[in-house]
Amino acid sequence: MANLCNLDGVILPEADARIPVLDRGFLFGDSIYEVVRTWGEVPFAFPEHWARLLASAEGLRMALDLDQRTVARRIAATVAQAGHGDSYVRVVVTRGAGEAPNIDLAYATAKPCWVILVRPAPRIAGLPAKLAAVDRLRNDRRALDPATKSGNYLNSVLGLAEAKDQGATDCAMFNAQGELTEASTSNLFVRVDGVWCTPPLAAGILAGITRALLLAFLAGRGEGVREQHLRRTDLDRAEEMFLSSSLRDIAPVTHWNGRALHGGGPGPRTAVLMPAFAQHCAGLLRDRYAPAWRALVAE
Ligand SMILES: Cc1ncc(COP(=O)(O)O)c(C=O)c1O
């Protein structure tokens, strides 16, 4: 079972896939992407990932030339051929190879390049995280909106590196107003005064698909939950924290700036939420996402 790449509709081993040096994704980070996890061969929350991909394309003024069904069928074929079962699927769309290494969109005359990477799903769901605040600011929405999931991840790359310098496994990044945004590749939930709080989109974050599912899930359980701006002092006094992402689900924060929380384990409420949310997601897969996926890829 190999890691496979679907490059513009052709499936080949990941190690053999090649991108032209004039590709704008390579030259300028001029690309968008989504990471989707599959359960067996069924992607979880594919409609939401597709909608976000479209929004990212719009954010970058990129015209997509493939429709949802075509991309879904490419994913299905690549996942089936790879045969990993639960898979990591990364869909990358670059603006294609330009006529010259020139940033001007007037040189971007080629069609987009579609890359689908399929690997075994990493077993990082629920993995505990040690979180540290970093001085590096999250990109400002007016500069490069974090809501646009572009291939330019240097802001997160450097934020994560700075957190690791502090002995942490992930970073808490703030905006220029001192408001919490998110971690390097996850959203953040922080329990303050008995309420689960997560920064609003206005703070400058990716609109996480897991975050949205969690907001509804927590409200449905009758938990206090709201989108709210948070500052560093709120995290210093937080009762519990966790990260959320498609690959991590709920990842408990066990350390904050080098300080062990709850004896270095998950917070008690987080520990209860983790299996309950996993069960909720299994139900969504069965009742919502699997039937929709089968209908989408059916001949
Ligand atoms: C910066 C950032 N924030 C949040 C997330 C979590 O988003 P999702 O729950 O859609 O995976 C990701 C995931 O890639 C991310 O890169």
Residues 141 and 249 in one domain: yes
Separation of alpha carbons 291 and 102, rounded Å: 45
211 Cα: distance to centroid of ligand 1 (angstroms):
9
- Reported pTM: 0.98
Q: How far is CA 262 from CA 146, 186, 205, in A?
A: 31, 21, 27
- Domain limits for position 70: 4-120
297 in a domain, yes or no? no
Residues 85 and 41 in one domain: yes
Residues 154 and 74 in one domain: no
Task: State residue 1's pLDDT score.
Answer: 75
- Determine the straight-line distance between the first and last CA of the chain, rounded to whole angstroms: 26
State the chain's mean pLDDT as an integer. Answer: 98
233 in a domain, yes or no? yes
262 Cα: distance to centroid of ligand 1 (angstroms):
26
158 in a domain, yes or no? yes
Separation of alpha carbons 160 and 183, rounded Å: 8
Query: Which residue, of 63, 85, 120, is where some domain finishes?
Result: 120
295 in a domain, yes or no? no
Could you identify the residue written with the tokens 């996402």?
289
106 Cα: distance to centroid of ligand 1 (angstroms):
31
295 Cα: distance to centroid of ligand 1 (angstroms):
27
Q: What is the mean pLDDT of residues 212-232?
A: 98
Residues 110 and 156 in one domain: no
98 in a domain, yes or no? yes
- Give the list of residues 6+ apart from residue 253 with CB closer than 8 angstroms, or none: 128, 129, 130, 131, 240, 241, 242, 243, 261, 267
User: Which residues does ligand 1 sit against, CB inside 6 Å?
Assistant: 35, 156, 182, 185-187, 206, 208-211, 244-246
Query: Which of 183, 4, 1 lies closest to 89, judged by CA?
Result: 4
Atom of ligand 1 nearest to the CA of 246: 11
Q: What is the mean pLDDT of residues 162-170?
A: 98
41 in a domain, yes or no? yes
Task: State residue 104's pLDDT score.
Answer: 97
256 Cα: distance to centroid of ligand 1 (angstroms):
20
Residues 134 and 275 in one domain: yes
Residues 134 and 274 in one domain: yes
269 in a domain, yes or no? yes
247 Cα: distance to centroid of ligand 1 (angstroms):
9
pLDDT in tens, 4-57: 999 999 999 999 999 999 999 999 999 999 999 999 999 999 999 999 999 999
Residue 60 is inside which H or E element, if any? Answer: none
Q: What percent of the chain has pLDDT over 90?
A: 98
Could you identify the residue written with the tokens 């689960």?
196
Residues 211 and 159 in one domain: yes
The CATH number of the domain where 222 resides is what? Answer: 3.20.10.10
Strand partners, 115: 7, 92
| Strands 225-227 and 259-260, bridge-based pairing | unpaired
Q: What percent of the chain has pLDDT over 70?
A: 100
pLDDT in tens, 229-258: 999 999 999 999 999 999 999 999 999 999
Residue 25 is inside which H or E element, if any? Answer: helix 24-28
39 Cα: distance to centroid of ligand 1 (angstroms):
18
The CATH number of the domain where 33 resides is what? Answer: 3.30.470.10
Closest CA to ligand 1's atom 15 = 185
188 Cα: distance to centroid of ligand 1 (angstroms):
10
Atom of ligand 1 nearest to the CA of 149: 16
Strand partners, 227: 198
Query: Which residue, of 120, 152, 185, is where some domain finishes?
Result: 120
Number of domains in the chain: 2
Residues 116 and 156 in one domain: no
Is residue 74 very low, low, confident or very high in pLDDT (cuts 50, 70, 90)? very high
Answer yes or no: is pLDDT of 298 > 90.
yes
Could you identify the residue written with the tokens 């999250």?
138
Residues 226 and 154 in one domain: yes
Residues 111 and 134 in one domain: no
| Strands 249-256 and 240-245, bridge-based pairing | antiparallel
Residues 138 and 248 in one domain: yes
Query: Which residue, of 90, 120, 150, is where some domain finishes?
Result: 120
Residue of 34, 88, 185, 250 to test ligand 1 pocket, by largest number of atoms within 8 Å of CB? 185
Separation of alpha carbons 109 and 63, rounded Å: 11
298 in a domain, yes or no? no
Atom of ligand 1 nearest to the CA of 247: 11
Task: State residue 98's pLDDT score.
Answer: 86
Positive/negative CA dihedral, 249, 250, 254, 255: positive
Atom of ligand 1 nearest to the CA of 146: 1
Residues 156 and 229 in one domain: yes
Q: What is the mean pLDDT of residues 249-278?
A: 98
Task: State residue 126's pLDDT score.
Answer: 96
Closest CA to ligand 1's atom 5 = 186
pLDDT in tens, 128-155: 999 999 999 999 999 999 999 999 999 9
